[in-house]
Amino acid sequence: MGAGGDVPSLPPWTRRILIAWFAIWFLNFLITPLGGRGVLNEAFALDLPTLLGGAEGLLDWLGSLIGALGAYTLLHDQGGLLHVAFNALLFYHFAPSVEQLFPGRRFLRYLWIAALAGTAAEFLLWLFGARWAAIGGSGLVAAVIATNAAIYPRAVVSLIFLRVTMFQFFLILLALDLLRFLVMLKGGSTEVAFDVHLGGAAAGWLMGDGFGRRGIRMPWESLLAGWRARRAEHRRGQEMEEEKELDRILAKIGRQGLPSLTRAEKRFLERRAARRERRGDRSDSER
């Protein structure tokens, strides 16, 4: 199993997510009474009915908010290790190649977007009357599988009885999730949030530019391109103005010395220095 080439060792955030999943599962196990669903699961699940009007108090509402913002992806079923172990196995195989493409904090942003896509899918169902809570990292797993399928469609995935391409593997999982999602909508079991799987898969496919790599342009791409161009032009204009101001201040220092600077000029230099330092830290974290 695996895609995107050989990964010599687990990249840092993939390793941390895997450790967090098992550590949180074990902590939840220790603090949950026998037979309980999980203290942390009840507090930080993706529970839109509670968040959007059913909270019994401020703490209950805050827990639901934290869950909806992504904490639900760190929680797993306390009925056994199968849920967390299966997610961990798939994440172990498919997340490293994605983290290589989105290194450092970009990978955290990638995972957060996938988590929010699951929340958005739950919200759509809530609008149509669905009332259930969700936990688990399956949406993140679906996202990294979808991104692998978008970028490495011909990579070979070895299953127990057969070998398929990464794209075929993704389609098989997508079809199963769609089928079970439809069963769920017709009143079947809601123990698994297949809508979260589908939301994560959609986010992973889009972040991997799955349509663009196949020559399919989406309606919003021209709008995004225009917005990015305007934003880049605005940023270049700001940088030019700041460079002019910096040149003026440095010339003033050369003529009159540091004591001649006003408070506003000193703050300007401090902001420039702080921004350069942040950029250096960001580039180091993304290596």
5-60 tens-digit pLDDT: 444 479 999 999 999 999 999 999 999 887 778 899 999 999 888 888 877 888 88
Residue 181 · residue 138 · CB < 8 Å: no
- Residue from 169, 136, 128 nearest 28 by CA: 136
Residue 120 · residue 167 · CB < 8 Å: no
Question: Residue 6's pLDDT is what?
Answer: 47
- Per-residue pLDDT for 285 more than 60? no
Question: Residue 36's pLDDT is what?
Answer: 75
Question: Residue 5's pLDDT is what?
Answer: 46
3-state secondary structure of 102: coil
Backbone angles phi, psi at 262, to 5 degrees: -80, 170
- Residue from 41, 144, 156 nearest 88 by CA: 144
Question: Residue 8's pLDDT is what?
Answer: 47
Choose the weakest-confidence range: 44-58, 75-89, 105-119, 181-195.
181-195
Q: How confident is the model at residue 1 (pLDDT cuts 50, 70, 90)?
A: low
- pLDDT averaged over the chain? 86
Q: Give the type of residue at 282.
A: R
Name the DSSP letter for residue 9.
S
Chain centroid offset of residue 4 CA = 19
Question: Residue 4's pLDDT is what?
Answer: 52
pTM: 0.76
- Residue from 179, 164, 107, 171 nearest 145 by CA: 171
Question: Residue 159's pLDDT is what?
Answer: 77
Q: Which residue has the higher pLDDT, 156 or 275?
A: 156
- Buried/exposed 168-198: b ≥16 CB within 10 Å, e otherwise: bbbeebbeebeebbeebeeeeebebbbbbbb
Residue 151 · residue 213 · CB < 8 Å: yes
- The CATH number for 12-214, chosen from 1.20.1540.10, 3.40.50.1970, 1.10.10.10, 2.60.40.420, is 1.20.1540.10
Share of the chain above pLDDT 90, in %: 47
For residue 157, the cross-strand partners are 164
Share of the chain above pLDDT 70, in %: 89
Residue 75 · residue 136 · CB < 8 Å: yes
